[in-house]
Amino acid sequence: MSKENSKTIKMQQPTILSYVNDLPNLLSLLGLACTLLAIYFSVIGLYKAAMIGMVWAVAFDWADGLVARRLKGRTTNDAKFGGQLDIVIDIISYGVTPAILLLSYGSFEPIYLIGAFIMLATAAIRLSYFSTYGLAGGTKYTGLALDNNSLILVFVFLFEGFFTHGTFSIVLYISGVGLAILNVSEIKTPKLSGNPRNVYLLGAYTLGITTIYGLQLI
């Protein structure tokens, strides 16, 4: 084999599906599966099941970053691909899903389209901003990170039983739009997912939320 042919082989791009073999990407895709379940259960009105899907989506999102940082042998392209995959999944998990939740809980009344659009638009703007500028000072986010939206909404939903459906739909509307405003604000918030201790705390929170809503579903 000539040196030229050898060089050509080495420079060949990997196949698209070869990236599925990367453990962090597999975790990202598991998070996407949870997001799909959350969307499905929101549409059919099984909101407690949707909450479980939403919190597990965050758990897998945080786990893939932790694994990626600890996994040896990953190339620059592996990291770049994983970063792009995360962004695409984030817009679905933290933009589309909460918007659909709000629309569904509001019985798809036109007024809820405004709130849903605000939530989706700010998610897209925030992700684009982060992709351009990254962390402020290398350590903090500018604005509230999108994954917090799901964690907070899942917590807010614990109090649904204390309100009528109509009243809680307003609470959900205000909560969703309020979080959207914080997402694109200039406040500085720490990168919680970068700390292994926080990942374990999220694991405990995820199991707790799953148990609470799971028992309510039985």
List the Cα angle 37/38/41 in 5-degree steps: 80
Residue 200 confidence (pLDDT) above 90? no
Higher pLDDT, residue 183 or 197:
183
In a domain, 1, yes or no: no
Radius of gyration of the chain (CA): 19
CATH of the domain at 204: 1.20.120.1760
Average per-residue pLDDT in the chain?
A: 91
Q: In the chain, count of helices (H) and strands (E)?
A: 9, 2
Residues 183/123, Cβ–Cβ less than 8 Å = yes
DSSP secondary structure string, 41-95? HHHTT-HHHHHHHHHHHHHHHHHHHHHHHH-TT--HHHHHHHHHHHHHHHHIIII
In a domain, 6, yes or no: no
In a domain, 73, yes or no: yes
Q: What is the pTM of this model?
A: 0.90
What local confidence, expressed as pLDDT, does residue 66 receive?
82
Q: Domain total for the chain?
A: 1
What's the whole-number mean pLDDT along residues 179-203? Answer: 89
Distance (Å, whole) CA 81 – CA 88: 11
What local confidence, expressed as pLDDT, does residue 52 receive?
98
What's the whole-number mean pLDDT along residues 91-112? Answer: 97
Tokens (6 digits) for 148:
């917090």
Distance (Å, whole) CA 43 – CA 131: 30
Structural domain span for residue 130: 22-217
In a domain, 68, yes or no: yes
In a domain, 2, yes or no: no
In a domain, 74, yes or no: yes
Look up tokens 């629309």; give the residue. Answer: 103
In a domain, 209, yes or no: yes
In a domain, 4, yes or no: no
- Specify the range with the lowest mean pLDDT, choosing from 23-32, 68-77, 116-125: 68-77
Higher pLDDT, residue 20 or 41:
41
